[in-house]
Every structure is written in structure tokens, then in C-alpha cells.
Amino acid sequence: MFNFLQNKLILVILAFALISHSNSMANENISSRQTLEVALAKHQGEVVYLDFWASWCVPCRKSFPWMNTIQEKYKSQGFSVISVNLDANRALAEKFLAEIPASFAVIYDPKGKIAKHFAIQGMPSSMLIGRDGKIKKRHTGFFTKKIPVYQAEIEQLLSSDN
């Protein structure tokens, strides 16, 4: 009798775990785009640097320290960095972030739905979004020699109402 109850309890626990796992997977599938929408709404009226990256992207390793720096430098002026990771395997992204931490929001888009919506062509790709919520600048790639240009674009948008 005890073994029967014990086995039944194990089956109930396994069933609950399976249901919970499938619900979390369903939430992952619909949440990447919704997560971005919520993040953008949270930063409404700010200048946002939206960056698309992947763990295998060599220039991303250079862009992350810079994005951490600009996040800190300009956040008091109404500036935020939001990044979107495109790795199909989240563990690869987490390994990257363990090596090069992010001081900004990271959204996972394993199926590339957000990237497709924004017609991303290469890694990394970034967009500067003005205070009015419209895309003002787009960049494909990250080049350390262009950092002064990137920062000038940010500063221009920070000093503007758009």
C-alpha cells in the first residue's frame, strides 16, 4: 500500500513538473517580443540604444564594455541600453555574460522573431531610438574607431526632444 501511494505521489509530482515546464516554454515563446515591448514602454521618453547580439559574435565582445560605459555615463540624462540576444541555446548567451557581464537589460530571442521584425542583417546590429520612440539611427557591426560617432549620435538625441 505504501509503495502504491509513494508511486502515485511521484507521478503527481512529475505531472505537475511537466505542466509547469510546458507553461514556462510557452511563456518563453511569446515573451521575447512582449518583453521588449515592456522594456521599451518602461523607457518611454528616453533615448534607447537597442543592440542585437549573439555569443559567437567577436565584435560583441568589444561592444559590451562600451555599452556598459555609456549606460552608466548617460543614464541620468534619460538614456538606456537594451540588448537582444539571438542565440538559439540560452546557455551560450549565459556563458558569454559570465565572461562579459552586462549592466543593462538583456532580452532573449532564441527564435529570432524580434530580429526578423527589425530586419537585422548582421551581428551586432544596433538602433538608436529617440525620445519620441522612433528609430533615428541604425548600425550593423561595431567598430571601436567609430565610438566617437556613436557617442555623438547619442548626445545629439539626448539634447533633443525627438
What pLDDT digit, counting tens, does each position of 53-110 carry? 999 999 999 999 999 999 999 999 999 999 999 999 999 999 999 999 999 999 999 9
* Its pTM surpasses 0.75: yes
pLDDT per position as a tens digit, 97-120: 999 999 999 999 999 989 988 899
Domains (ranges, CATH) in the chain?
A: 2-158 (3.40.30.10)
Backbone CA torsion sign across 20, 54, 101, 125 = negative
